[in-house]
Amino acid sequence: MSTVIIDGNEAAASASFRLNELCSIYPITPSSTMAELADEWASRGQANVYGLIPTVIEMQSEGGAAGALHGALQGGALSTTFTASQGLLLMIPNMYKIAGELTSTVFNVAARSLAAQGLSIYGDHQDVMAVRQTGFALLNSSSVQEAHDMAAVSQLATLRSRVPFLHFFDGFRTSHEENSCELLTDDQLRELVPEDLVRAHRERALSPEHPYIRGTAQNPDTYFQGRESANPYYNAVPGIVTESMDAFAAITGRQYHLVDYYGDPEADRVLVIMGSGAQTVRSTVAYLNAQGEKVGVVQLRLYRPFPVAEILAAIPASARVVAVMDRTKEPGAGGEPLFLDVAAALGEAYAAGRLQHLPTIVGGRYGLSSKEFTPAMVAGIYAELAKDSPRPRFTIGINDDVTQLSLDYDPSVDLEDPATLRAVFYGLGSDGTVGANKNSVKIIGAIENTYAQGYYVYDSKKSGSRTVSHLRFGPNPIEAPYLVSKAGFIGVHHWSILERVDVLEFARPGTILLINTPYEPDDTFAHLPEPMQAKIIELGIELWAIDANLVARKAGMGRRTNTVLQTCFFAISEVLPKSEAIAEVKRTIRKTYARKGADVVAKNEAAVDATVENLFRIAVPAAPVSEVGMIPPVPATAPEFVRDVTASMLLGTGDQLPVSALPVDGTYPSGTTKYEKRNISDIVAEWDPDACIQCGNCAFVCPHAVLRAKYYTESALDGAPDGFQSAPLNAAGFPGSRYTLQVYAEDCTGCGLCVEACPVKPLGSGGERKAINLAPLPEPRTKTKENVAFFETIPVNRRSRIDFANVRGTQFLEPLFEFSGACSGCGETPYLKLLTQLFGGRATVANATGCSSIYGGNLPTTPWSSNKYGRGPAWSNSLFEDNAEFGLGLRLAADLHTATARRRLEELRPELGDRLVDAILDAPQQYESELSQQRARVDALKALLDGMDTPRVADLRSVADHLLRRSVWIVGGDGWAYDIGSAGVDHVLASGRNVNVLVLDTEVYSNTGGQASKSTPLGAVAKFAAAGKPTAKKDMALQATAYGNVYVARVAMGADPEQTLKAFREAEAYEGPSLILAYSHCIAHGIDMRKGLDQQYAAVASGHWPLMRYNPVLRSAGKNPFLLDSARPRIPLRDYHMKELRFRMLMNSDPESAERMLELGQDAVNRRWAEYEEMATRGADRFAEVAGG
C-alpha cells in the first residue's frame, strides 16, 4: 500500500477502474474527473487487476451512458460509470432495469445538488436521494480514504449480492478535497474481489450458446410476484456488505461497518448522519463529551437497503432525543428521507415492543449546495437538542427568517487541532496559486508522519476569478471537511483582492500575513485599506510583504509568481524548518522542470533564492495610518436588490443572506454585471481617434461589450469632461456629426481581440500600432468613470436610422449582453452580443447548460441586460439535454398568445377601429423600421385599452405585446447540440416552427473542462479522447439542409464578419426553423486567445470550416438555396492544426497516428469541399421545394 495525496474522485476512480472492464461515461461536474482519469489511464495502456485494459466509452448523455452500461452488463462485462446530479437522474430508467434484473454494477457518484430554482454544481444528497427507490444499494463515504475503500467494498458486495450498488460521496467536499490516502495495490484488490466472482457475473450474461429472454413484458397476473421475487437478495445485502467490509479489513486493517456509533455510550442526544458531515460531527462529539456533555453520533454507511437492525442497535437506549440530519430537501414531504427512515425504524420497533423507550425524533437539513457544515453548527444542534422541546424540523447553517426553521449557533466554536497549521491563500484564476498550493500539499503530505489537506474555492467567473485555497498541514490525520477558520497563515497574492474583500476573515491573533505588494516594503502598510490596518493592529498580525511580480520578472519568469509566493509560504510559515522547506521547493522544481532543460531549472531556482532576499517583515504602527476604505462591490446608485443582495454575494458574504433576501422562484433582475466594475486587467483597450476609420470591426468582435460607439451632434459634447475622446463622424450624409468609441476600461479584460480585428496601421507606427491598442489601465480610475458616465448621457442612436446590413452599422446598436465573466477573449460571446444588438429588445432566449449558461446566468451578476425602455432579452435555462424543446415551448406559447391577441383584436374591431386593427394585423415586420412602427401601434393599442374595461380587453391587454414579432433563440454549445440535445435539436428543426438555433461551436465540452463531443475534429486531443479523436466531426449543417425547409448557416466571425451578420439577419427573418453554427475559438483549443480570430480565419481558409448558407427562401424563388460563402481551401489543414495545442498534442505524443489522422482529415476536407461546391452549383430543381414556400 502506498500513501498518496489525491482527491476523492481519484481515490474512487483508482479502485473502480482497476476492478472493471468497461467505463461508460459522460462529463458532469463534480464527477467528471473520475471519468477523465479512467480515459487517461486506459489511453496510457494501464490494465485492471485482471490484466485487461478497460474500455472507456463516452456516450452522448448520461442516459446513453446508462444504456450502454446496461447492455454491457447484460453482455457480462464488469461495467461502471461515474456521474452526479441531473446525470444520475437521466440514468434512473436504466437503474430500475439493472436492479430489476439483479445485475452487478457500481455507479460512483459525486453527490450534487439538483437544478430547481437554480442550478448548482455543488454538493449535497439531492441526486442520490432521487434514486433511493430504484433498487440500487446505496453506500456512502465520508472521506477521501473512504471513497477509495468503499469503491472497492461495493464492487465486492455487488458481485456477491447481485444487487447493483451506487457508491456516493459528497460532491466537491470529498470529490475535490485533497487528502492523504492509502491506495490498495492490485494484489490487494484482486484478493478482495476474486476472479470467480467475475466469472459468475459473466456466466449470467446473455449468450446465443444458451439463449434465454430477459426484459419481457408482464401482465397483471405475474408482475407483482415478480417484483417480490428478489426480496431475498435485498434481505441478504446488509449481511453481504458487512462480510465485504470484514474481508476488506482483513486485507487492509481498515475496519468499517454499516453503521458506526461514536460518542458516549450513555448519550442523551444522538445525531444520525451520513457523508462527510459525519466526520465533522464525530470530532464535535469528542469535543463536547470532553466538556462533560453526553452526546453521540450514528454514522450510516449503507443507506439502501436500510439497515434497520443495525440502526436500532447503534442508537443508545439512553438517547432522549435523536436528530436525523439530511443533506437534501423534499418540499412538501413530512420529513426528509433519512429522517423518515429512522423515524419509521424506531417507531415500528417501539410499537412492536422491541424498543423499551422511544426517543424524540427530529429532522434537520444542512449543507445544501456545499453549504458549510462546521463543528460550530454541530454544537448548535446539540444545544437545541438539550432543550425540553427541540424543534421537530430545523435547518442549520442559514438564517431562515421566513419560516423560522434555522437554528442559531455560536460561530466562534473552534475545534481545530492546535498541532495543525492552517493556511488560506487568495489568488486569481490561472495565476498559479492553486497549482502551487496543490504542489505544497503534495510536498508536505509526502513527508513521513505528516498529513496534508487541500480544498479550493473558486468564484464562478471564467476570467479574473478569485480563488481561495484552504490548506491544513499537521502531524495527525486531518479529518476536517470544512473550510479553514482562524488560519495561522494567510497569503494574499494580488493586491486588488485586499482592496475589495476582507482577507482577514479567517485571521486570528498572531496570524502570519503575506502580501504580494506593488509598493516598496516600507510603504506597503500605508497603502492598505483602513479597516484592514485596524484589524492587523487589533489581532497583532505578523505582516510580511514581497513584490513577487518584480522578483518573478527579474528572474525571467514573466508574470508567473507562483514559485515566488510558494517559496514565501515555506520561508515564513514554519510548516517545515526553513532550510528544509526551501530545499524541498528546489527539489520539486528540479523534478518538475528537469525535462525542460537545465536553464529552466536554474531560472526557477534563482527565483527561489531571489525570493528569500526580497521578502520583508513589515513593521506595524500602533494606529491605522490610512483613511481609505474598501472599494465597494457595487456603486451606491445601483438598484436596491443589487446593493443589498448581489453586493453581499460579491463580497463573499452571501452565506449570511437571510432566506427573505432571496427570490422565491429563482427570478432575478437581469443586467447586473454593469454594477460590478471588476478591473481584472491592468492592460486595456485604448482608442486612437485620429487613426480610427470607424469601421466597427473592433466593437463587433469585442467579447465583453466594452467598446461602444455612438455618433452625435457637436452640441452633445457640451459639458464633456477633459480628455473625453471624440472624432468627426466619417460617414457621408452626416456633416458636423461626431463619433466616439468609448472603452469601458474597468470592464475590459485586455484580451486584445479588438487590436487584432483593427485593419488600420497608422503611418509611422512601424506596423505595430493600430487604431485601437492595449495600454495600461488609465489612472486615476475616476477619470475613466467620468468619461463612461458622460458617454452614457449621449443618446443611443436610433435603430431605425442605422444600416444593419454591415458591420459598420452594428457598432451603433446597443448590446444587451455585456461584461460577462466569460474567458478573456471568448469566442462565443461576440455572437451572443450581436444577437442582442440585432434582436435583443424582442428576444426570448432558451440557453442550454454549459459555458453560455454559466457566464450568462451564474450568480452573483448576470450579463443579459435591457435598454432604456426596459426591454431586453428574456433568458432562461432549463436543462442541458432539453434546450431545443424548451425553446420550442417558448415559441409555441408565443404563437398561442399571438393568435389570442389577433383574435381578440378582431373581436374588438368595432371599439378599436378598422384602421388600427388592420394596420396591426397586416403589418409587415421584417425590417427594423417596420418593427418600430408596429411597436408604436402596439403602444397606441395598449393606451387605448387602458381606457376600456371588459374581459376581452383584459385578455387582449395581457397578450398585446405578442403582436410584435417575437424572436425566439435557442442557444447552446456543441456538447448540447451535437450530443445530449441532438435528438431534440433535430426534432425542433423538423417541427417547422419559427425558432432560431444558435450553436456556439467550440468543438468540445468547454464548461466541464474540454471533453470531446461529436463536434470535436478528427485528431484533436481532448479529455475522453486523450489519444486523439478517432472519428470525424459531424456535419450538422449538411444534416440540417436535408430537411429543405431549415435555414442553415455556418459562420466564423473572425473569417467573415459580414457573412456572420447576414446569416443572423436571414435566420431571424426566416419564418421557419433556423440553425446557425458559429465557430467559437476557445481556451480548450490551446491557443493564444488573442489570436482567436486568426484561428477562425485559418479554420475557414483550410476548409475545416467552410462558410455556407442554405436559405429555403431562395428555393421558393426558384434559385439554388445552397450558398458557399468562403473561397476554395487555400492553406493546408496542417497549417491550421499546428497552431492549436489540441492538435499539436498528438503530434507530440503519437506522431504516427497524428500524421495518419491529419492525412484523413485533409482528405475529408477535400471531399467535403467538392461536395459543397457541387451543391452550390446545382440547379434549384435539384433541391426539394419548400412546402408552402
Partner 1 sequence: MDTTTQYLGLSLRHPLVASAGPLTQSVEAVRALADTGVGAIVLHSMFAERLRREAERDQELTDVGADSFPEASGYFPSVADAVEPGTAYLSLLERSAAAVDVPLIASLNAAGVGNWVSYARRLADAGASAIECNVYFVPGDVTLSGADVEARQLEIVAAVTEAVSLPVAVKLSPFLSSPGNFALRVVDAGASGLVLFNRFLQPSMDVERLAVVPGVTLSSPAEAQVPRTWIATLRNHTSASLAATSGVAEASDVAAYLLAGADVVMTTSSLVRNGAGYARTLIDGLSDWAAAKGFASVDDFRGLLAVPSGADDNALARSGYLAALEKAQQTYGSLRA
Q: Note whether 595 binds partner 1 by CB under 8 A.
A: yes
Count of residues interacting with partner 1 (CB under 8 A): 64
- Shortest reach from residue 1096's CB to partner 1, in Å: 17
Whether the CB-CB separation of 821 and 858 falls below 8 Å is answered with: yes
E strand intervals along 27-148: 55-58, 79-83, 106-111, 137-140
Using the rule CB under 8 A, give the single segment among 504-512, 1017-1025, 1097-1105, 1113-1121 that binds partner 1. Answer: 1017-1025
Q: Which of 1154, 1164, 1165, 1175 binds partner 1 (CB under 8 A)?
A: 1154
Whether the CB-CB separation of 419 and 474 falls below 8 Å is answered with: yes
CA separation for the pair 399, 225 (Å, rounded): 49
Q: How do strand 874-876 and strand 843-847 relate by DSSP bridges? A: parallel
Q: Closest CB to partner 1 among 771 and 838?
A: 771
Length of the chain: 1189
Q: Closest CB to partner 1 among 959 and 1026?
A: 1026
Dihedrals φ, ψ of 494, to 5°?
-140, 130
Q: Which of 59, 695, 705, 1021 binds partner 1 (CB under 8 A)?
A: 1021
Using the rule CB under 8 A, give the single segment among 235-243, 432-440, 486-494, 609-617 that binds partner 1. Answer: 432-440
Give the CA diameter of the chain. 97
Report the 3 state secondary structure along 1006-1040: CCCCCECCCCCCCCCCEECECCCCCCCCCCHHHHH
Q: Closest CB to partner 1 among 84 and 832?
A: 84
- Shortest reach from residue 56's CB to partner 1, in Å: 12
Q: Closest CB to partner 1 among 504 and 1087?
A: 1087
Q: Note whether 683 binds partner 1 by CB under 8 A.
A: no
CA 39, 40, 43, 47 torsion: positive or negative?
A: negative
Q: Which of 14, 24, 32, 726 binds partner 1 (CB under 8 A)?
A: 32
Q: Note whether 414 binds partner 1 by CB under 8 A.
A: no
Q: Note whether 369 binds partner 1 by CB under 8 A.
A: no
Spell 791-821 as b/e; 16+ CB within 10 A means b: beebeebebeebebeebbbbbbbbbbbbbbb
Whether the CB-CB separation of 508 and 486 falls below 8 Å is answered with: yes
Q: Note whether 39 binds partner 1 by CB under 8 A.
A: yes
Using the rule CB under 8 A, give the single segment among 35-43, 538-546, 563-571, 867-875 that binds partner 1. Answer: 35-43
Q: Which of 1023, 1091, 1109, 1115 binds partner 1 (CB under 8 A)?
A: 1023
Whether the CB-CB separation of 258 and 307 falls below 8 Å is answered with: yes
Q: Compose the 997-1016 pattern: x for residues touching partner 1 by CB under 8 A, - for all others.
A: ---------xxxxx------
CA separation for the pair 88, 287 (Å, rounded): 37
Q: Note whether 588 binds partner 1 by CB under 8 A.
A: no
Q: Closest CB to partner 1 among 595 and 868?
A: 595
| Range 1103-1142, binding partner 1 (CB under 8 A) | 1141-1142
Q: Note whether 884 binds partner 1 by CB under 8 A.
A: no
Q: Closest CB to partner 1 among 122 and 165?
A: 122
- Shortest reach from residue 465's CB to partner 1, in Å: 5
- Shortest reach from residue 936's CB to partner 1, in Å: 45
Q: Which of 3, 188, 289, 460 binds partner 1 (CB under 8 A)?
A: 460
Q: Compose the 288-327 pattern: x for residues touching partner 1 by CB under 8 A, - for all others.
A: ----------------------------------------
- Shortest reach from residue 773's CB to partner 1, in Å: 17
- Shortest reach from residue 224's CB to partner 1, in Å: 44
For residue 970, what is the enclosing H or E element? strand 967-973
Whether omega before 1030 lies within 30 degrees of 0, making that bond cis, reads no
- Shortest reach from residue 1154's CB to partner 1, in Å: 8
Q: Closest CB to partner 1 among 60 and 433?
A: 433
Q: Note whether 1022 binds partner 1 by CB under 8 A.
A: yes
Q: Closest CB to partner 1 among 4 and 813?
A: 4
Collapsing DSSP states into helix, strand and coil, what is residue 862?
coil
- Shortest reach from residue 1024's CB to partner 1, in Å: 8
CA separation for the pair 458, 428 (Å, rounded): 9
- In the structure grid, which three cell numbers stand for residue 98, read together? 439493472
| Range 145-174, binding partner 1 (CB under 8 A) | 172
For residue 468, what is the enclosing H or E element? strand 466-474
- Shortest reach from residue 32's CB to partner 1, in Å: 8
Q: Closest CB to partner 1 among 384 and 1140?
A: 1140
Q: Closest CB to partner 1 among 758 and 1022?
A: 1022
Q: Note whether 1162 binds partner 1 by CB under 8 A.
A: no
Q: Closest CB to partner 1 among 491 and 1121?
A: 491
- Shortest reach from residue 347's CB to partner 1, in Å: 41
452500461: which residue's cell? 69
- Shortest reach from residue 1126's CB to partner 1, in Å: 27
Q: Compose the 737-766 pattern: x for residues touching partner 1 by CB under 8 A, - for all others.
A: -----------------------------x
Q: How do strand 967-973 and strand 874-876 relate by DSSP bridges? A: unpaired
Sheet order of strands, 178-183 included: 2-7, 178-183, 451-458, 466-474, 421-428, 487-492, 507-516, 542-546, 616-618
Give how far Cα 5 sits from Cα of 176, 456, 602, Å.
12, 15, 27
| Range 105-134, binding partner 1 (CB under 8 A) | 121
- Shortest reach from residue 867's CB to partner 1, in Å: 31
- Tell me the residue type at 850: G
Whether omega before 780 lies within 30 degrees of 0, making that bond cis, reads yes
**DSSP per residue over 186-250, as a string?**
HHHHHHHS-HHHHHHHHHTS--TTS----S----TTTHHHHHHTTHHHHHHHHHHHHHHHHHHHH
Using the rule CB under 8 A, give the single segment among 251-259, 504-512, 712-720, 1143-1151 that binds partner 1. Answer: 1143-1151
- Tell me the residue type at 224: F
| Range 168-207, binding partner 1 (CB under 8 A) | 172
- Residues tagged active-site: 29, 62, 112, 1007
Alpha-helical regions (H) of 923-1049: 928-946, 951-959, 974, 982-990, 1036-1041
459562420: which residue's cell? 1051
Q: Note whether 1088 binds partner 1 by CB under 8 A.
A: yes
Q: Is 222 exposed, middle or buried (0-12, 13-18, 19+ CB in 10 A)?
A: exposed
Q: Closest CB to partner 1 among 74 and 673?
A: 673
Q: Which of 404, 1148, 1166, 1177 binds partner 1 (CB under 8 A)?
A: 1148
Q: Note whether 435 binds partner 1 by CB under 8 A.
A: yes
422511544: which residue's cell? 358
Q: Closest CB to partner 1 among 401 and 1159?
A: 1159
Using the rule CB under 8 A, give the single segment among 25-33, 91-99, 914-922, 1037-1045 that binds partner 1. Answer: 25-33
Collapsing DSSP states into helix, strand and coil, what is residue 145?
helix
Whether the CB-CB separation of 526 and 557 falls below 8 Å is answered with: no
Q: Which of 152, 385, 727, 1087 binds partner 1 (CB under 8 A)?
A: 1087
Spell 967-977 as b/e; 16+ CB within 10 A means b: bbbbbbbbbbb
Alpha-helical regions (H) of 1074-1111: 1092-1101
Note the residues at the interface with partner 1 (CB under 8 A): 29-30, 32-33, 36, 39-40, 43-44, 121, 172, 428-430, 432-435, 438, 456, 458, 460-462, 465, 467, 595-600, 766-767, 823, 854, 1006-1010, 1021-1023, 1026-1027, 1083-1084, 1086-1089, 1141-1142, 1144-1145, 1147-1152, 1154-1155
